[in-house]
Amino acid sequence: MRPEILFPLFAPATELSGVGPRIGKLLERLAGGGRIVDLLWHLPTGLIDRRHAPPVNAAPEGRIVTLTVRVDAHIPPRNPRLPYKVRCHDDSGFLHLVFFHVKGDYLTKLLPVGEVRVVSGKVEHFRDEAQMTHPDYIVRPEEFATLATIEPVYRLTEGISSKVIGKAVRAAIERAPSLPDWLDAALAARESWSDWRTALRSAHAPAAEPDLAPSTPARRRLAYDELLASQLALALVRAHQRRLPGRRIAAAGDLRRRVLAALPFQLTGAQIAALAEIDGDLASDGRMLRLLQGDVGSGKTVVAFLAMLSAAEIAMQAALMAPTEILARQHYATIAPLAEAAGVPVALLTGRDKGKSRQGVLDRLADGSLKLVVGTHALFQEDVAFDDLALVVIDEQHRFGVHQRLGLAGKGKAVNVLVMTATPIPRTLMLCVYGDMDGSRLTEKPPGRRPIDTRVIPLDRLDEVATAVGRQIDKDARAFWVCPLVEESEVVDLAAASERQAWLAARFGADRVGLVHGRMKAAEKDAAMERFASGDLNVLVATTVIEVGVDVPEATIMVVEHAERFGLAQLHQLRGRIGRGSQPSTCLLLYAAPLGETAKARLTIMRETEDGFRIAEEDLRLRGAGEMLGTRQSGLPEFRLADLTAHADLLQIARDDARLVLDRDPELASPRGKTLRVLLYLFERDAAVRLLRSG
């Protein structure tokens, strides 16, 4: 149950004066929710300063000013579609107040002729005369003291004025109770942070532009509260996971030794270290939940397979699930010869498998004679049953919903989970998205991999690029040619790719240039990929809608058109499709001039480094977290107050604080623990509190 002290904050915004059902609906859309607390989290993005009060003849163009004037005359229009004007003056000159769609005698009462009024708004000049259209405020001189000379500016939506949102937020702040402080006292003193309610008031009352920065004490305090709630919730989930009994998988390693002897290369230091961490988890009594991060081509599949062999060696089962059929087949192609060397059968199960062959795999999984399986989400369909599933490996988990991850783990008892991703994740996002997991990183490339020569070339040299690619394919080279992300439209992307394929086919010959796109059936897509992999095709034109996840060591050229339209992570993934063999490889990034600052920075980083982790950090800096991972797909919590780029230092402090608290007070039963429960409810991490109550 939510603590009673928070009830006023979770009341509907329609309880505030002046907020009826219509405004309430608009506020809900604007503030991300229709409750009072949502208005509190809707921080200002700018401010209006009404302190500038020059004489009329010195009022600057386009700036907000506050003028004291005497009303001379009302000039109603002859045609109702024309503006209504009120002529005023001060000792320095004349000013017209301009109004549209005036009804009744409203203005004659507001601006009586001969009286002095204070008006505030933006001044413009028309035919050398100053005018102010629809002033923001018109008051008597004695009422001026009640006017807010500095006003916060909020993001708006159609149908809501700044006055309405400002009034609603002020009313919401008045409703905010004083809450018991959950902060560590030493941290609050070191950062000069005030209590929660004072910080909230300060954040909504900027006195100057610098007060809007995320680095102000008030905004840092509120951001820390949100980050602490998030980290505490993740730590509680992790603690709960650890308390769940696991399956110990401790094999002698005979099968692994056979595979290592058959490998044509030595494992890298990073692969050996990651395996040791995984083995440690599997040999413990707790349940493994580990994330294995590694750049494209860093050898994650081999590490995962060696872990799966440990389960097979002691008569348990292991499954590897990939998000697409292409990736599942690629993993299977890597694993099958290694499994053969170990003398352990492995099967592939995808949505395309039907009839007797599919039933055969299902029967062998159910009776336990098949220990290892690779597949797509077909693995967690209802009719798939395992005899004794003990380890699940999930590739690119952000492409699956959490329920799918749990769905596969639910097909066994106390299943250990290893998640893999080829998308290098910055440390900041690791803490936010995967904070409930332990992490291992593969930072080395396998021996023999050569650096990729990356060049940035203007699009108007397209002919030269095609000629250079032609020279290479005459020597039997193979090239990917990725077409631009035109817009969020498969149809337009496809048109661009089809056009490029026709253009290249005219130059190189129709039998040498293939096309893959998201609208093709899986079988057609696989056939085109197969022809490229076997050398039947020299050039494969692709849209980005598809996963260009095929492993073709012979491909040595990657051309990306309109590279300025792609994110860094995407460019890095695309470049990772080449440089997989022993031949030198080249990546050509074609851009349309002129380049914006961010696009220029992206292409510069791509030219400077192949380090996926450095690229991921830069991507976070340039784009921000939500856009980088796609908030909805990634499971990234939507932060309302914290900015992961500006507040990265606070995230680490919050993580350490959460761990320390739970080490000392796992039930949150101490005086500070009880205030932290209030914090969890304030930021709606109720599920974490339920875990506490369920033990």
264 and 327 in a single domain? The answer is: yes
Q: Is residue 201 in a domain?
A: no
pLDDT of residue 695: 46
| Domain at 84, CATH number | 2.40.50.140
pTM confidence score: 0.68
- Do 356 and 397 belong together in one domain? yes
**How high is the pLDDT of residue 527?**
86
Query: Are 325 and 377 members of one domain?
Result: yes
pLDDT exceeds cutoff 70 at 184: yes
Give the Cα separation of 594 and 227 in Å (integer).
39
Q: Give domain status of residue 224, yes or no.
A: no
CA distance 575 to 480: 10
Looking at residue 414, what is its pLDDT? 86
**DSSP codes joined into one string, 430-476:** HHHHSTTSEEEEE-SPPTTPPPEEEEEEEGGGHHHHHHHHHHHHTTT
Which two tokens mark 49?
A: 């300063």
Say if residue 336 is in the same domain as residue 393.
yes
- The CA distance from 278 to 288, in Å, is 8
Q: Would the pLDDT of 544 be above 50?
A: yes
Residue given tokens 């784009």 in the structure block: 623
CA–CA gap between residue 299 and residue 574 (Å, rounded): 17
Does 518 map to a domain? yes
Q: What 3 state SS string does 358-373 have?
A: HHHHHHHHHHCCCCEE
pLDDT of residue 122: 94
Assess if residue 501 is contained within a domain. yes
Q: Which of 96, 129, 147 is the last residue of a domain?
A: 147
**Number of structural domains the chain divides into:** 3
- Does 588 or 298 have the greater pLDDT score? 588
Please indicate, yes or no, whether residues 473 and 402 belong to a single structural domain of this protein: no
**Is residue 404 over pLDDT 80?**
no
Last residue of a domain, one of 407, 423, 439: 423
Helical H runs in 59-105? none
Range of the domain at 78: 51-147
Q: What is the mean pLDDT of the chain?
A: 87
Helix, strand or coil for residue 286? coil
Residue 324's nearest CA partner among 274, 374, 383 is 374
**φ, ψ (nearest 5 deg) of residue 499:** -65, -45
CA 224-225-229 angle, to 5 degrees, is 110
User: Does 635 fall in a domain?
Assistant: no
How far is 352 from 332, CA to CA, in rounded Å?
A: 15
- Kindly indicate the confidence band of residue 422, based on its pLDDT and cuts at 50, 70 and 90: confident
Residue bearing tokens 């004066």? 17
- Whether 602 and 490 map to the same domain: the answer is yes
Q: What is the mean pLDDT of residues 179-190?
A: 96
The β-bridge relationship of strands 116-126 and 64-75 is antiparallel
In a domain, 459, yes or no: yes
CATH number for position 300:
3.40.50.300
Q: What length is written for the chain?
A: 695
Does one domain contain both 411 and 462? no
The answer to whether residue 437 is domain-embedded is no
Phi and psi of 58, rounded to 5°? -110, 5
- Secondary structure class of 116 (helix, strand, coil): strand
Q: Which residues are within 8 A (CB) of 104 and not within 5 positions of it... i.e. 6 or more apart?
A: none
In the chain, % of residues over pLDDT 90: 56
User: Are 387 and 456 within one domain?
Assistant: no
Residue 311 scores a pLDDT above 70: yes
Q: Classify residue 199 as left (phi > 0), alpha (psi -120 to 50) or beta.
A: alpha
CA-CA distance, 548 to 577, in Å (whole number)? 8
Domain identity same for 318 and 384 = yes
Is the pLDDT at 630 greater than 50, yes or no? no
Q: Is residue 8 part of a domain?
A: no
**pLDDT tens string 7-61:** 999 999 999 998 999 999 999 888 888 899 999 999 999 999 999 999 999 999 9
Q: Name which of 128, 332, 225, 240 is nearest 683 in CA terms.
A: 225
Which neighbouring-strand residues pair with 12? 35
Contact by Cβ (8 Å): 331, 303: no
- Residue range 278-300, pLDDT digits in tens: 999 999 988 888 889 887 778 89
Mean pLDDT of 311-321: 95
Q: Are the C-beta atoms of residues 366 and 386 closer than 8 Å to each other? A: yes
- HSE at residue 556, side-chain half, CA atoms within 13 A, is 18
Q: Which residue would you say has higher pLDDT here, 434 or 594? A: 594
DSSP letter, residue 83:
P
Report which of residues 294 and 508 the model is more confident about.
508
Instruction: Indicate the residue among 557, 575, 609 that finishes a domain.
Output: 609
Instruction: Read off the pLDDT of each residue in 377-396 and give the average, rounded to a whole number.
Output: 89
- Integer angstrom CA distances of residue 352 from 358, 377, 547: 9, 11, 17
Cα gap 667→659, rounded to integer Å: 13
Residue 639 burial (C-beta neighbours within 10 Å; 0-12, 13-18, 19+): buried
Question: Average pLDDT, stretch 356-373?
Answer: 95
Q: What is the pLDDT of residue 222?
A: 98
CA distance 169 to 160: 13
Q: Which two tokens stand for residue 80?
A: 């109702």
Determine which of 143-147, 160-164, 425-429 has the lowest per-residue pLDDT on average. 425-429
Measured in degrees and rounded to the nearest 5, phi and psi for residue 596 equal -75, 165
Segment 219-236 mean pLDDT? 93
- Which of 191-195, 521-525, 675-679 comes out lowest in average pLDDT? 521-525
For residue 550, the model assigns a pLDDT of 63
The pLDDT tens digits for 428-478 are 676 666 665 778 888 877 776 788 999 999 999 999 999 999 999 999 999
Asked if residue 318 and residue 412 are part of one domain, the reply reads yes
C-alpha torsion sign, points 279, 283, 284, 286: positive
Residue 526: is its pLDDT beyond 90? no
- What is d(CA 494, CA 359) in angstroms, rounded to the nearest whole number? 37
Helix, strand, coil distribution of the chain in percent, nearest 5: 45, 20, 35
The token pair at 36 is 């009072």
pLDDT grade for 330, boundaries at 50, 70 and 90 = confident
Confidence of residue 351 (pLDDT cuts 50, 70, 90): confident
pLDDT tens per residue, range 102-138: 888 889 999 999 999 999 999 999 888 899 999 999 9
Burial of 633 (0-12, 13-18, 19+ CB in 10 A): exposed
Q: Is 319 helix (H, G, I), strand (E, B) or coil?
A: strand
Find the range with the poorest average confidence among 151-160, 178-187, 383-392, 556-565. 151-160
Is the predicted pLDDT of residue 427 greater than 80, yes or no? no
Do residues 417 and 458 both lie within one domain?
no
Q: What is the mean pLDDT of residues 69-81?
A: 93
Helices (H), 284-324: 300-313
- Read off the pLDDT band of 521 (50, 70, 90): confident
Shared domain for 417 and 461, answered yes or no, is no
Q: Quickly state the pLDDT bin for 626 (edges 50, 70, 90).
A: very low
For the chain, percent of residues with pLDDT exceeding 70: 91
Using CA of residue 309, residue 314, residue 317, residue 318, what is the dihedral sign? negative
> How far apart are the C-alpha atoms of 525 and 531, rounded to whole Å?
10
Based on its alpha-carbon atoms, the radius of gyration of the chain, rounded to whole angstroms, reads 32
Tell whether the model's pLDDT for residue 548 goes beyond 60. Answer: no
pLDDT number for residue 277: 96
Q: What is the pLDDT of residue 470?
A: 95
Helix (H) or strand (E) holding 604: helix 597-608
Report how far residue 175's alpha carbon sits from residue 36's, in angstroms, rounded to the nearest whole number.
8
Beta-bridge mates of residue 438 = 290
From the list 537, 594, 548, 540, the residue with the least C-alpha distance to 571 is 548
* Helix and strand element counts for the chain (H, E): 25, 21
Can you say whether the dihedral through the CA atoms of 272, 273, 276, 277 is positive or negative?
Answer: negative
